[in-house]
Amino acid sequence: MPEQRNNRRQIDDITSLFNMNHFLEDATVLLRDSEDGEFAVIYFDIENFKAYNQAYGFHAGNTFLRQVAHIMRDAFPDGILARLHEDHFVAAIVNEEIVSRVLRVQERVQASAQQVSIRMKAGIYVSEGDAADVTVVLDRAKLACESIKRFYDQSYCYYDSSMEAGAKLRQYIVNRFEQAMVRGEIRVYYQPEVRVLTRQVCGFEALARWIDPVYGMISPGIFVEVLEEAHLSDRLDLFIVEQVCKDFAEVRAHAGEGWNLARISVNLSRVDFQLKDMFEAIEKIREETGTLREQLHIEVTESAIEDEMLQETIQRFRSAGYEVWMDDFGSGYSSLNNLIKYEFDVVKLDMQFMRMFKDNPKAKTMIKGIIGLAKDLGLHTLVEGVETEEQFAFLRAIGCEMVQGYLFGRPAPLRDAAAFYAGEQATLNFEPFDEAAYYHSLGMVNVLSTFPFLSPEERSDHISDLPLAIMEVRDGALSFLYTNGAFQSLLQSLGVPGMQELLDSLYHLDEAADQLFWRLINQAVNTGEEQQIEQSVNAHIFTLRLKCIARNLEHRLSAIALIADNLTPVGLVAKLPAS
């Protein structure tokens, strides 16, 4: 290994590792002197380092980078190490125990990040005699690292030749982008957003599609990411916004009822907000085309919202009258805290929930939980990726407001979409534009709640309207572990002042009532099934439901949940007609 020289002109000021120029110089010598398969380059990229600087400041960020350098020296004591720029590092080493050492570096770096979620990706290239230039070797390690950038469960990757084709396509995208917009190769496709209660089209999402003469349909999963990295995404997104506004200016006269005032969701990238004042840019387009603010919904991915500049712009959009939607909630590293910290109008659940719908029972539980939570926070809900009537029926049952997916239509050009949704053969019709506020109010009803009539603000302090208690039986002795407010109110309405008085009454039942009570308890414990009995207390009749929710046979310990409902005064029962 060439010695790592201590010359200030070749050393990175922050980490004291080599800078890029002198890394290339020494790595060239190592590559030249190595046999095939002996030489390896590892390219490291620290993801989310910007959030660390925002949380702790640049001084702490520099200290963190020095810690990374120290960790790398420990793992690769004989390697040629360098900090290339910002949060990118590289190591040229002998090809020995690479993966174990890479994982050790990643684990220690992530552990040093305190409360910020930091991930360190690594791309590995092992020389096989097909690259005599160390810059090519470095580029290949970088390609391997970039290939897993959006895969949260993959921390390292070896280079393979197929990545060269991907790099060629990425360069083509950057070079062709301006021409593609001018020549109409980049187009807007529209996918319907459907109101669950009515099955009416309540809006569309505008999606960019690139139909290239060489590559054919280029996936947006590829070209959007490339344009973000090239700092061209703002050009793309504003092009789509402008095309949407022009489309609807043209179709107002002849596309059919509903299209003249359709609502369109447009996607903005995190990078857009760093490159341009997106609020002013969209306002300019809107004014030039005569588009109403109420017609444009601004979608921002959840992963972007921790950017402080973006948060300020989101507030400007909302203050001006635009709806702002959180897109792709649940993809990658989601945080429920984001629903509390940031102001949005709609939360869109990522389509991965629907992909897991059939095979993973937890998916339904998660969807139901997020829908209920969003409603209690005053957020409207939309689920992406709905493909079957079974999925739609479930979402309708739990109170989801809007859906999007192949069940109702694939993304299509404006002409095709207009024919499908407004033509003579249309299977879906449009929600009247001026009824949106009505359905927004209706959508705030949480059908999963025991008190659906309350507003989100009122629900925040409400626990449950269902009288519930948890009773413990330990060696034949009774006690109450939990009672909610509704249960205590029920007792008071029955003339029982409190829990101690209730316990006292249970210990002083007459013989017949005592036998019935303990028979119910034993049946609940032994069968695990719900037991029911009608009770009459102080001229009131109600149904008491019991179910054993936990037990420990060794300690003769059981927990019984009690629910009381159908409370009716005896006088009223006598007047009710027989069924």
**Of the ranges 62-66, 137-141, 364-368, 413-417, which one carries the lowest mean pLDDT score?**
413-417
Q: Tell me what pLDDT residue 184 has.
A: 95
Contact 147, 51 (CB under 8 A): no
Distance CA 193, CA 265 (A): 9
Which of 94, 190, 235 shows the shortest CA–CA distance to 413? 190
Contact 70, 64 (CB under 8 A): no
Position 205 pLDDT exceeds 70: yes
**Of the ranges 288-297, 390-399, 496-505, which one carries the lowest mean pLDDT score?**
496-505
Q: Tell me the torsion sign for CA atoms 334, 337, 341, 347.
A: positive
Contact 431, 200 (CB under 8 A): yes
Position 568 pLDDT exceeds 80: no
For the record, the structure tokens of 270 come out as 């995190």
Give the mean pLDDT of the chain.
85
Contact 506, 517 (CB under 8 A): yes
Q: Tell me what pLDDT residue 130 has.
A: 63
Position 374 pLDDT exceeds 60: yes
| Residue 183, φ and ψ in degrees, nearest 5 | -85, 5
Architecture of domain 8-158: 2-Layer Sandwich (3.30)
CA distances from 32 to 27, 36, 96, 158 (A): 9, 10, 18, 21
Half-sphere exposure at residue 28, Cβ-oriented, CA atoms within 13 angstroms: 8
Q: Tell me what pLDDT residue 389 has.
A: 95
Q: Which whole number is the average pLDDT over 146-153? A: 81
Which of 74, 78, 75, 69 shows the shortest CA–CA distance to 98? 75
Distance CA 27, CA 135 (A): 9
More confident residue, 312 or 462: 312
Q: Tell me what pLDDT residue 576 has.
A: 38
pLDDT band at 572 (very low <50, low <70, confident <90, very high): very low
Q: Which whole number is the average pLDDT over 257-284? A: 86
Contact 326, 348 (CB under 8 A): yes
Q: Tell me the torsion sign for CA atoms 524, 530, 531, 535.
A: positive
Place of tokens 């996607």: 267
Strand partners for 122:
44, 156
Position 275 pLDDT exceeds 60: yes
One DSSP character per residue, 328-373 reads EETSSS--THHHHHS--SEEEEPTHHHHTTTT-HHHHHHHHHHHHH
Report angle CA 210, 271, 293 to the nearest 5 degrees.
80
User: What is the separation, in whole angstroms, between the first and last Cα of the chain?
Assistant: 93
Contact 204, 185 (CB under 8 A): no
Assigned CATH class of 468-575:
alpha beta
**Residue range 403-445, pLDDT digits in tens:** 999 999 999 998 887 777 666 667 778 888 888 888 888 888 8
For the record, the structure tokens of 177 come out as 């982008």
Contact 443, 451 (CB under 8 A): no
Which of 342, 310, 346 shows the shortest CA–CA distance to 326? 346
| Residue 294, φ and ψ in degrees, nearest 5 | -65, -15
**Residue range 287-334, pLDDT digits in tens:** 999 899 999 999 998 766 666 677 889 999 999 999 999 998 877 555
**Of the ranges 120-134, 271-285, 420-434, 513-527, which one carries the lowest mean pLDDT score?**
420-434
List strand residue ranges (DSSP E) for 338-467, in order.
346-349, 380-383, 402-403, 412-413
Q: Please tell me the total number of residues recorded for the chain in this structure.
A: 579
pLDDT band at 393 (very low <50, low <70, confident <90, very high): very high
State the pairing for strand pair 200-212/216-218: antiparallel
Q: Tell me what pLDDT residue 391 has.
A: 94
List strand residue ranges (DSSP E) for 238-307, in order.
264-268, 296-301
Q: Which whole number is the average pLDDT over 202-231? A: 94
**Of the ranges 30-44, 87-101, 225-239, 317-331, which one carries the lowest mean pLDDT score?**
30-44
Position 467 pLDDT exceeds 90: no
Position 530 pLDDT exceeds 80: yes
Ramachandran assignment for 381, one of left (phi > 0), alpha (psi -120 to 50 degrees), beta (any other):
beta
Q: Tell me what pLDDT residue 535 has.
A: 74
Half-sphere exposure at residue 395, Cβ-oriented, CA atoms within 13 angstroms: 29
Q: Tell me what pLDDT residue 424 has.
A: 67
**Residue range 40-96, pLDDT digits in tens:** 899 999 988 888 887 888 899 999 999 999 999 999 998 999 998 889 999 998 888
Cα 148 to the center of its chain, rounded Å = 19
Distance CA 453, CA 450 (A): 9
* Percent of all residues in the chain with a pLDDT value above 70, rounded to a whole number: 90
Burial string for 80-112 (b: 16+ CB within 10 Å, else e) reads bbbbbeebbbbbbbeeeebeebbeebbebbeee
pLDDT band at 4 (very low <50, low <70, confident <90, very high): very low
User: Domain residue spans in the chain?
Assistant: 8-158, 185-444, 468-575
Q: Tell me what pLDDT residue 22 has.
A: 85
Helix (H, G, I), strand (E, B) or coil at 197: coil
pLDDT band at 574 (very low <50, low <70, confident <90, very high): very low
pLDDT band at 2 (very low <50, low <70, confident <90, very high): very low
Q: Tell me what pLDDT residue 253 has.
A: 55
Helix (H, G, I), strand (E, B) or coil at 379: coil
Distance CA 25, CA 39 (A): 15
Contact 286, 245 (CB under 8 A): yes
Q: Tell me what pLDDT residue 65 has.
A: 93
Domain boundaries 185-444, corresponding CATH code:
3.20.20.450
Contact 108, 50 (CB under 8 A): no
* Percent of all residues in the chain with a pLDDT value above 90, rounded to a whole number: 39
Q: Tell me what pLDDT residue 543 has.
A: 83
Distance CA 227, CA 116 (A): 27
